[in-house]
Chain A
Amino acid sequence: MKKQEILELRKWAAKIRKHIITEVLHAASGHPGGSLSCTDILTVLYFHEMKVDPKNPRWEDRDRFVLSKGHCSPALYGALAEKGFFPVEDLKSFRHIDSYLEGHPSMKSVPGVDMSTGSLGQGISAAVGMALAGKLDKKDYRVYSILGDGELQEGQVWEAFMAAAHYKLDNLVAFLDYNGLQIDGKITEVLSPEPIEDKLKAFGWKVIRINGHDFVQIIEALNEAGKSKGKPVVIMAETVKGKGVSFMENQAGWHGTAPSQEQAEQAFAEIDAYMSKLEVE
């Protein structure tokens, strides 16, 4: 893997982080915390891993992506806009009455969105359906999904895990955005899903553990996932909720709160400073 590519990915991620702040600022609502924690994963998916075509969003042989933690639409929309599915300028209309950028991902209105999500626990099942379709049709497209760690409390997630292992869906890769927080606090205090790794293994999945902000590790994990035979793969990505904006990091309070103009400016300044550091690297 070239150093240059990693640097490029870092830059894309920083741009997407700025888009997230822009979206929630202009919507005066939305979910920055979990969006920032899965930004690096989304960046690798859309700018390194997935076969997609912004000019033909419904291309039949494309790789599919389902944002099971649909509240993190700001990150997904930011990635899709940067990828060229729709104009970056439109991100400012996020959640507005006359906009197609619905509060949660909507496959009917947003180009590049493969499944409508927002009700936690369902996205992963839809991804299982897509992976099953791929197997039925003997196509080699792959299906990716990102789940929240609080989302694991939904029983449906485990129904989906059971089905994916039973049907040997090795064309399916699920990322767990393992940031340790949900709305009401720490996942281990609200209702612990631990020990997560043991449970995932017991459900028949191959588990890979990484630092979800390390691009080299994300890419290597995806390469390893690509070699799995007969087993779906879950990449447990340890992340920081609010990553990249100092005052949002590890704060459950920033789960679903929009920043003020001043706070947004501080966030932009921090990300800009990070980006200029990247320039000299």
Chain B
Amino acid sequence: MSQKMATREGYGAALAEFGADSRIVVLDADLSKSTKTEVFKKKYPERFINMGIAEGNMMTVAAGLASCGKIVFASSFAMFAAGRAFEQVRNSICYPALNVKIGASHAGITVGEDGASHQTVEDIAIMRALPNMVVISPADSVETKFAVKAAIEYDGPVYLRLGRASVPVIFDENSYQFEIGKGTVLKEGNDLTIIATGIMVEKALEARELLQKEGVQARVINIHTIKPIDSELIVKAAMETGAVVTAEEHSIIGGLGSAVAEVLADKYPVPIKRVGIEDRFGKSGKPNELLEKYGLTAKNIVEKAKESMNMKKK
């Protein structure tokens, strides 16, 4: 587990690895070095198209290409892919359910030094509100690779949420299995459930160890697909453990925490505490300093876990 790699690195590598299919076309908006689509570009230059700094146009061009049978990956920073081009994604990609995959890198606060203008902490909320959209938030570069493969095989719009910072590789490439819409139990436990996505999965595992030292057995669930969400697995965990804490590198408004709360409010209400960014903008700093400052830590998950357990009906 000592190896570290950014999910965007996994994205670029996967595009190159699975890119042989001539239907695959990769678009970028002058950020191919950052989003790592340049790895694909080097291998398949004839199927890489730079659309310049014009994200709205890029998304609709992607739709046009997809309408002619292409599997299109359109990449930019999450801020511009989900934010600037929201309406193009909605009207030109999701409404007609076209086969476009949005590779949105630099999501979350771990963008770091670039600061709030680039730290997208609202993208899950707005992307999952779109009908026909699949939203995937991988935890490490291995999961990213399998997510890219699944996105190629799936016919329809997909939003892939990727990070800039190097993060620990937690999955084993040789045994890892990925299915869109299926969460996985990473650790068993019956006292409460920690449901995490993206880079917070690793923090959730760390929190579990801390809790174990205090005699608490936490179940840890990885939700890589935020939409469609694995309600069955979440409801089962709520029934068996009676308390939930969610963890995500995203606003507590509209993200994984909200999605889990929606499922449980509908089907099996239990106490839920959410770890995420508390309705405020980010700032410049090093990724780890920012995670600390904004409470995206194992320690905070532990605290929220205890609060959630204390709320269980005695």
Contact = CB atoms under 8 A, between A and B. Distances in A.
A66 B92 CA distance: 12
Interface stretch (B45-53, B194-202, B212-220, B264-272): B45-53
Interface stretch (B64-72, B103-111, B253-261): B64-72
Nearest to A109: B96
B61 A116 contact: no
A114 interface: yes
Identify whether the interface residues of B are mostly helix, strand, loop, or mixed.
helix
Q: How large is the interface on B (under 10, 10 to 19, 20 to 34, 35 or more residues)?
A: 20 to 34
B5 to A, nearest CB: 32
A163 B61 contact: yes
Nearest to A132: B65
B106 to A, nearest CB: 21
Interface string A218-231: 00000000000000
A125 B68 contact: no
User: Which of A129, A166, A167 is the most central at the interface, judged by chain B CB atoms within 10 Å of its CB?
Assistant: A129
A116 B60 contact: no
Contacts, number: 104
Contacts of A134: 68
Interface in B27-79: 46-47, 49, 51-52, 54, 56-57, 59-70
Contacts of A167: 49
Given A116-B92, A122-B60, A133 B52 contact: no
Interface stretch (A37-45, A154-162, A185-193, A258-266): A154-162
Given A156-B56, A163-B51, A163-B52, A107 B67 contact: yes
A130 B67 CA distance: 7
A162 B52 contact: yes
Nearest to A70: B91
A122 B92 contact: yes
B67 A115 contact: yes
B95 A116 contact: yes
Given A126-B60, A129-B67, A133-B65, A116 B96 contact: yes
A279 interface: no
B61 A115 contact: no
B60 A132 contact: no
B60 A129 contact: yes
B218 to A, nearest CB: 44
Interface residues of A, number: 34
B56 A128 contact: no
Interface string A15-28: 00000000000000
Given A107-B96, A108-B96, A126-B92, A156 B65 contact: no
Interface in A111-138: 114-116, 118-119, 121-123, 125-134, 136-137
A66 to B, nearest CB: 8
Contacts of B60: 122-123, 125-126, 129, 156, 160
B63 A132 contact: no
A98 interface: no
Contacts of B88: 122, 125, 156
Contacts of A155: 56
A161 to B, nearest CB: 9
B240 interface: no
User: Which of B62, B88, B96, B97 is the most central at the interface, judged by chain A CB atoms within 10 Å of its CB?
Assistant: B96
A122 B91 contact: yes
A129 B65 CA distance: 5
B65 A60 contact: no
A130 B92 contact: no
A122 B85 CA distance: 11
Nearest to B72: A129
Identify whether the interface residues of A are mostly helix, strand, loop, or mixed.
helix
A6 to B, nearest CB: 33
Contacts of B59: 125
B59 to A, nearest CB: 8
B25 interface: yes
A118 B69 CA distance: 22
Contact of A119 (B57, B61, B66, B87): B87
Interface string A157-191: 00110110011000000000000000000000000
A125 B92 contact: yes
Given A108-B96, A122-B60, A163 B91 contact: no
User: Which of A60, A125, A136 is the most central at the interface, judged by chain B CB atoms within 10 Å of its CB?
Assistant: A125
11 contacts: A64-B67, A115-B92, A119-B87, A119-B91, A121-B56, A125-B59, A129-B67, A133-B68, A136-B46, A160-B60, A166-B52
Interface of A: 60, 64, 66, 106-108, 114-116, 118-119, 121-123, 125-134, 136-137, 155-156, 159-160, 162-163, 166-167
Interface of B: 25, 46-47, 49, 51-52, 54, 56-57, 59-70, 87-88, 91-92, 95-97
Given A114-B67, A129-B61, A159-B52, 11 more contacts: A60-B69, A115-B63, A121-B56, A122-B56, A129-B60, A131-B64, A133-B25, A133-B69, A159-B56, A159-B57, A163-B61
